[in-house]
Amino acid sequence: MAETNIIQLIKNFSFEDLLPVNLVYGKEELLKRQLIDKVKSFKGEDIHILWGDETSVKEIEEIFSSSSLFSKGNIAVLWDLESFIKNLKKGDTERFLDTLRKINSPDRFFIISNKDKLPAKEPYKSLKEIANIIVSAPLTPKAFVLSIKKKIEGNGKKIDDRTVLYLSSKLKNDLMYAKQEIEKLLLYVSDKDEITEEDIDKVVIPKIEENIFVFLNRFFSKDPKAVEIFINLIETTHHPFEVQSFLLGQLNKLLVFRSLLDEGKPLDAVFSQLGIKHPAQKGTFQKLVSVLSKEDLIEMIKELYKLEIQQKVYYSDIYESSTEYVIKMVNG
């Protein structure tokens, strides 16, 4: 099935023109959010928001089996297809695909993938045949520069071509990050007519790519620098849920490590049981358990579970709440 460009879809949005099942993939997270915001503006509170790591095939079946109760149909959004696929048990993949094949108008199901490119294997192979494929690719460099210029001029400010190129070089073709930095910049120059390179240098933080392992070491060491690194991570290369999942895995591993040592198990035996082989990783674990008690680790895990409840049950802002968690744990 031919792919649909997400920008064109947002510009000319028509709910009736969409197929019952729509698969959205690609790197540009802001455009994915804008598309779902469009859907919400048409359907309001009648939308089922699902998260891949906690949704079963049965839940999806139940949503779309009750469509006769609603004259306007059922609308659902499944965020993070990859976590959903990871949790599928034997036979669930075909059951999931059969469920999708049975979805008809006026129902609509939006499936959000984190993939930059859709794999050829199942269930992606069948999804390409069942769903309308919507690609959320980054803008071309030229289009990115034009979007920045349009945003700035649309807010009544002037910016020359040289300066807008200078600004775009700091934003690395990332719309989500650009939105945040340009809003800061516009606020800073609120009493000026034209934006200069000096204004940009004072306000805009260049987008950089941080290593998640650097963040973990800083986080567990309660280094305030961890907060800055975390913000850079979620604004550039990682979704907050990805970092939270990785963090939970490390916390659980550290807790088992700490518990086994407290039970008197020899250090080499603990390393062997947990599959920790690299000397640098061994050194890191020894360093961390020397500064983190069992109670510290349990508290961090509890707070992380509370955070996910806030995000997935009460719909707190994912980016703000995850940052608040990091700040709390580092300062605690």
Residues 146 and 245 in one domain: no
* Percent of the chain residues past pLDDT 90, beyond the cut: 47
Residues 153 and 242 in one domain: no
Boundary-marking domain end, from 108, 135, 162: 135
Q: Which helix (H) or strand (E) holds 217?
A: helix 212-220
Boundary-marking domain end, from 82, 106, 135: 135
Q: State yes or no: pLDDT of 68 exceeds 50.
A: no
User: If you ran DSSP here, which 8-state letter would residue 194 be given?
Assistant: B
Residue 30's pLDDT is what? Answer: 86
Query: Using one digit for the tens of pLDDT, what is the confidence trace for 302-331?
Result: 999 999 999 989 889 999 999 999 999 998
Using CA atoms, how far residue 21 sits from 103, 109, 128, 150, in Å, is 7, 5, 10, 33
Strand order in the sheet with 21-25: 3-5, 132-135, 21-25, 108-112, 75-79, 47-51
Residue 246's pLDDT is what? Answer: 86
Residues with Cβ within 8 Å of 115's Cβ and at least 6 positions away in sequence, in order, are 25, 26, 81, 82, 124
Average pLDDT along the chain: 88
Residues 223 and 324 in one domain: yes
Q: State yes or no: pLDDT of 70 exceeds 50.
A: no
Residues 232 and 149 in one domain: no
> How many whole angstroms separate alpha carbon 229 and alpha carbon 225?
6
Q: Please report which confidence band the pLDDT of residue 137 belongs to, taking 50, 70 and 90 as the band edges.
A: confident
Give me the mean pLDDT over the 196-207 stretch.
87
Could you tell me the residue range of the domain that residue 238 belongs to? 212-331
Residue 238's pLDDT is what? Answer: 79
Q: State yes or no: pLDDT of 56 exceeds 80.
A: yes
The number of folded domains in the chain is: 3
Residue 289's pLDDT is what? Answer: 84
CATH value at residue 13: 3.40.50.300
Residues 195 and 159 in one domain: yes
Question: Which of 207-211, 254-258, 323-327 has the lowest average pLDDT?
Answer: 207-211
CATH value at residue 192: 1.10.8.60
Residues 123 and 191 in one domain: no
User: If you ran DSSP here, which 8-state letter would residue 204 be given?
Assistant: P
Q: State yes or no: pLDDT of 69 exceeds 60.
A: no
More confident residue, 15 or 3: 3
Residue 73's pLDDT is what? Answer: 80
What count of residues does the chain have? 332
User: If you ran DSSP here, which 8-state letter would residue 237 be given?
Assistant: T
Query: Using one digit for the tens of pLDDT, what is the confidence trace for 278-287?
Result: 777 788 888 8
* Percent of the chain residues past pLDDT 70, beyond the cut: 95
Beta carbons of 237 and 172 less than 8 angstroms apart: no
> How many whole angstroms separate alpha carbon 219 and alpha carbon 228?
11
Q: Please report which confidence band the pLDDT of residue 21 belongs to, taking 50, 70 and 90 as the band edges.
A: very high
Residues 12 and 105 in one domain: yes
Residue 135 pairs in a beta bridge with 5, 25
Q: State yes or no: pLDDT of 209 exceeds 70.
A: no
> How many whole angstroms separate alpha carbon 245 and alpha carbon 307?
12
Cβ neighbours, 10 Å, residue 138: 16
Residues 274 and 230 in one domain: yes
Q: Please report which confidence band the pLDDT of residue 210 belongs to, taking 50, 70 and 90 as the band edges.
A: low
Q: Which two tokens mark 66?
A: 């009750």
CA triplet 53, 249, 119: central angle to 5 degrees?
50
CATH value at residue 258: 1.20.272.10
pTM, rounded to two decimals: 0.57
Location of structure tokens 């959010």: 33
Query: Using one digit for the tens of pLDDT, what is the confidence trace for 152-190?
Result: 999 999 999 999 999 998 888 888 888 889 999 999 999
Q: Which two tokens mark 112?
A: 């959000």
Residues 57 and 180 in one domain: no
Of 112, 101, 102, give the one whose Cα is nearest residue 76: 112
Residues 196 and 315 in one domain: no
> How many whole angstroms separate alpha carbon 223 and alpha carbon 327?
10
Query: Using one digit for the tens of pLDDT, what is the confidence trace for 76-112?
Result: 999 999 999 999 988 999 999 999 999 988 889 999 9
Radius of gyration of the chain measured on its C-alpha atoms: 23
Q: Which amino acid is at 175?
A: L
Q: Which amino acid is at 61?
A: E
Residues 217 and 315 in one domain: yes
> How many whole angstroms separate alpha carbon 147 and alpha carbon 142?
9
Give me the mean pLDDT over the 38-50 stretch.
79
Q: For the residues of 133-153, what is the DSSP string, one character each? A: EEE-PPPPHHHHHHHHHHHHH
CB-count burial class (<10 Å; 0-12, 13-18, 19+) for 209: exposed
Residues 227 and 168 in one domain: no
